[in-house]
Structure 1
Amino acid sequence: MKHARVIHDGKTHLVTEAGDGRVALPDGRVLDEAQVQWLPPIEPRTLFTMAINYADHAKELAFKAPEEPLGFLKAANTVTGHRAHTVRPADAAFMHYECELAVVIGATARNVPAERAYDVVAGYTVANDYAIRDYLENWYRPNLRVKSRDTCTPLGPWFVERDDVPDPMNLNLRTLVNGRETQSGNTRDMVFGIPALIAYYSSFMTLAPGDIILTGTPDGVVNVVAGDEVVTEIEGIGRLVNTLVSDARTA
């Protein structure tokens, strides 16, 4: 089942999918997606982000695929919802989207073997993990100004329960900018798949319900500017819409 969190008539509601982008409120009313304000489908705890976790993206950046996961943390202030605006710094020369499968942890997990990794997964959602290359200091460990900026991680619109995604390691994903497809790939092309990532992180720290692992992006990232509509889409998970707006301030 697909769930989402929205605001309608000043109240937060947990809704389900009613088809054609519509939402069903708990009282049975069905609304179009434009009639509600979308929140991230879950309230995130810790966000784990992967650098260079698709081989084609590594090649695009002229790097060889890493020998172990290149993970770093991302602040919760970055998260925003479906149809929200993301602020593009006025002094940024190159800012790009990253369509990513987001894995939501559903149980306390420590030293989880890869073969049991899915036992601790609650479900999945779509993430758009924007990056601002101007501020990049190290491709392997992106700094805070690249990855922890306000509004730069749209998430949603739906949370899809684990058992409703038979094979999360074989999902098509793509990005469209102003209706034109600019990125496409499949989760099977990850360097480190979901079981490996959960085993890796839980080997040295405790994962908790509400933690989110962003699993990386394939090649095809291009510069986007204020006014662009960016759609990140993952087969069976959802279609996340985001619009860039300009920030008159510098970083």
Structure 2
Amino acid sequence: MKLVRYGPKGQEKPGLVGDDGTIRDLSGEVRDIAGEVLSEAGLKHLASLDIASLPVVDGTPRLGSPVAGLQKIVAIGLNYSDHAAETGAEPPEEPIVFMKALNALSGPNDDVEMPRNSSALDWEVELAIIIGTKAKYVSKENALAHVAGYAVMNDVSERDFQTKRSGQWTKGKSHDTFGPLGPWLVTKDEIGDVHDLAMELDVNGQARQRGNTNTLIFDVPTVVSYLSQFMTLMPGDVITTGTPPGVGMGMKPPQYLKVGDTMRLSIAGLGEQTQTVVSA
């Protein structure tokens, strides 16, 4: 299934995308795409519905983040071998973990704000994991049982804030709009091999990132299991898993986003996003 949340910001309703691309309203079945809805039983209930009987959503409404009620966004850094190489970094021995503030979360096609005093705004297409059930001290073998599905995320970053302002990476990752997620939450049963998905990102129509999840250093079960040793993962929590090569910071010389620039990014089977950069 492809689950969405649609409507004005702060007023999103739950929906389901049919095979024909039509959004069907789920408001009569669930309050939101959150909590128990993301469990195995909750997803099984949604999968059992007669899609044709659900109300059609007219037009092309704004899409919000496809999941609500999350407690945290956890991010993994330098998790692609080819991206680590372009930055000149050694592949990490353990996952590099940092956080993105919840206020960074936004819809897949919402504008991205350039913060005040920003000079190094960068893009990162990433595979996001959406947690379905509470995960604490889970094994790698059982990790996927706690995953509801996957989505595209743009881990927007301000590199000077991230690397030159001392402290940890979070301050360069957490501005409003720095976490476009969606367009959909795709349940894991729809993805044949999550470790073989093509990824791409263009800026103003020019190719920037081209990669594949098959170069992940730490795969999805490893990441979920690893994080669950340090923090309890809750339904709706988002784990964004790292980016392939082609970021602005890695270009020679580095190239960064400007107000008016447009990013288009996609992952095979998970859909496409488009954002325009605006002033904060």
Match of 2:227 in 1: 201
Match of 2:195 in 1: 169
> How far apart, CA to CA, are the structure 1 residues paired with 2:181 and 2:97?
19
Structure 1 residue 243 corresponds to structure 2 residue 270: no
Match of 1:129 in 2: 155
**1:63-87 superposed Cα distances (whole Å, 9 cap, x missing partner):** 1100000011221100000220111
Q: Do the aligned partners of 2:115 and 2:175 also contact (CA within 8 Å) in 1?
A: no
Q: Structure 1 residue aligned with 2:266, among 228, 233, 244?
A: 233
Match of 1:53 in 2: 79
Q: Structure 1 residue aligned with 2:122, among 88, 96, 109?
A: 96
> How far apart, CA to CA, are the structure 2 residues paired with 1:22 and 1:231?
22
Q: 1:68 to 1:193 in 2, by over 3 A?
A: same
Match of 2:43 in 1: none
> How far apart, CA to CA, are the structure 2 residues paired with 1:6 and 1:109?
28
Letter in 2 for 1:158: W
**Count of residues in correspondence between the two structures:** 244
- RMSD, aligned CA: 2.2
Structure 1 residue 3 corresponds to structure 2 residue 3: yes
> How far apart, CA to CA, are the structure 1 residues paired with 2:172 and 2:260?
20
> How far apart, CA to CA, are the structure 2 residues paired with 1:21 and 1:70?
37
Match of 1:157 in 2: 183
Letter in 2 for 1:63: A
Q: Do the aligned partners of 2:22 and 2:56 also contact (CA within 8 Å) in 1?
A: no
SS at match of 1:204: coil
Structure 1 residue 146 corresponds to structure 2 residue 172: yes
SS at match of 1:163: helix
SS at match of 1:176: strand
Runs of 5+ unmatched residues, structure 1 = none
Q: 1:165 to 1:29 in 2, by over 3 A?
A: same
**1:15-67 superposed Cα distances (whole Å, 9 cap, x missing partner):** 2224675523355324343xx12110001321110111111111111111000
**1:88-147 superposed Cα distances (whole Å, 9 cap, x missing partner):** 1243222111100000111111221111111110111110011111112379x8433201
Letter in 2 for 1:41: P
Aligned-residue identity in percent? 37
Q: 1:11 to 1:54 in 2, by over 3 A?
A: closer
Give the structure with the higher percent strand.
Answer: 1
User: How far apart are residue 204 of structure 1 and its match?
Assistant: 2.5
Match of 2:96 in 1: 70
Range 172-181 or range 68-77, more displaced: 172-181
Runs of 5+ unmatched residues, structure 2 = 27-53, 249-255
Range 68-77 or range 20-29, more displaced: 20-29
Q: Do the aligned partners of 2:210 and 2:244 also contact (CA within 8 Å) in 1?
A: yes
> How far apart, CA to CA, are the structure 2 residues paired with 1:144 and 1:72?
6
> How far apart, CA to CA, are the structure 1 residues paired with 2:97 and 2:162?
15
> How far apart, CA to CA, are the structure 2 residues paired with 1:17 and 1:184?
27
SS at match of 1:39: coil
